[in-house]
Amino acid sequence: MQRRHFNRIMTASVAAASFLSPVLCHAQQRVLLRAGDQKGGLHALLDAAGELKSLPYDIKWSEFPAAAPLAEALNANAVDFGPIGDAPLLFTLAAGSKVKAFAANQSDAYGTAVLVRPDSPFKTAADLKGRRIATNRGSIGHFVTLKALESEGLTTADVDLRFIPPPEAKLALTQGSVEAWATWEPYTALAETSGHARVLVNGRGLSSGLSFLAATESALKGKREALRDFKARVERAQLWSYRNTRQFGESLARIIGIPVEAAQLQFERRATRWINIDDAVLAEQQRTADFYLRAGLIRQRLDVRQTFDSGFNTGKA
């Protein structure tokens, strides 16, 4: 009797374990965040500030040279989220991408600029008429170019735009196959400090300086708490960086492989601060979207309110 009772208990225990094991295994699985990044971006910031230690989830990083390929990766669900500027975010949304911005930051727009060679005779954006300008299609560099031309009464019909990724665009400028290059940080600071280029037109007064963390709908639904924690770490890391500017500059230079002088310049000049997605952000983004419509880069008016998730704002649970 005792043996039969023992066997029944063991059989029931094994059956219970078989039933519970998938649940236990699932509970023990760590969330994997597939993070897209751009050169000089989030990975370097978080690493320098020590915010990648003791993560309650795993991160797989993928680096992209610009926003356009990062946006393509988001659209293909190859990454869960990544940093993207206001203009390229609109560009990819208008093309049918199903992503939403869930965090926002604002920086000094000086480093989003149109560059020329140091010996160039050009003095203002008006001098770009009839000239070859390299940039990334749909990028913040492209946007600032259009705004700079508009400020001088010019349009894209008055220039020869060449859509080239940043490394090739820099080479094209230095070799003289284009007369100008519209780009962003850290490329602007690197070109300046290396003596390869100077700023002809900077983004102040032309660009909002807004950038976002954008995520796929599936990540916003299934990895929401991990994204919330990630956002909090980025905000803490940003504050740490401005309390430890030299240390961060040196760390940033090492991580992204550029000279300390360039890393320090682009970091301090940007003065990035993380902000809530509020009515002011929505209004600014709508103005950018409407400008893209007038410029013919998007075909239909985009209601930007549908492209944001404000549930990650500071103070919201």
Which tokens belong to 68?
A: 């356009």
Q: Tell me how far apart the alpha carbons of residues 220 and 225 are, in angstroms, rounded to a whole number.
A: 9
Mean pLDDT of 244-248: 87
Which tokens belong to 124?
A: 């203002």
Q: Tell me how far apart the alpha carbons of residues 158 and 27 are, in angstroms, rounded to a whole number.
A: 60
- pLDDT digits 0-9 by tens, 279-300: 999 999 999 999 999 988 888 8
Q: Are 282 and 115 in contact (CB under 8 A)?
A: no
Q: Tell me how far apart the alpha carbons of residues 215 and 79 are, in angstroms, rounded to a whole number.
A: 8
CATH code for the structural domain at 110-202: 3.40.190.10
- pLDDT digits 0-9 by tens, 209-227: 999 999 999 999 999 999 9
8: three-class secondary structure by DSSP: helix
Q: Tell me how far apart the alpha carbons of residues 130 and 186 are, in angstroms, rounded to a whole number.
A: 28
Amino acid, res. 262: A
Handedness of CA 281, 230, 215, 62 (dihedral sign): positive
Query: What CATH number matches the domain at 32-108+209-312, 3.40.50.720, 3.40.190.10, 3.90.226.10, 3.40.50.2300?
Result: 3.40.190.10
- Judge if the upstream peptide bond of residue 65 is cis by omega within 30 degrees of 0: no
Q: Integer distance in angstroms from the first to the last C-alpha of the chain?
A: 57
- pLDDT digits 0-9 by tens, 109-154: 999 999 999 999 999 999 999 999 999 988 899 999 999 999 999 9
Phi first, then psi: what are they for 85, rounded to 5°? -70, 170
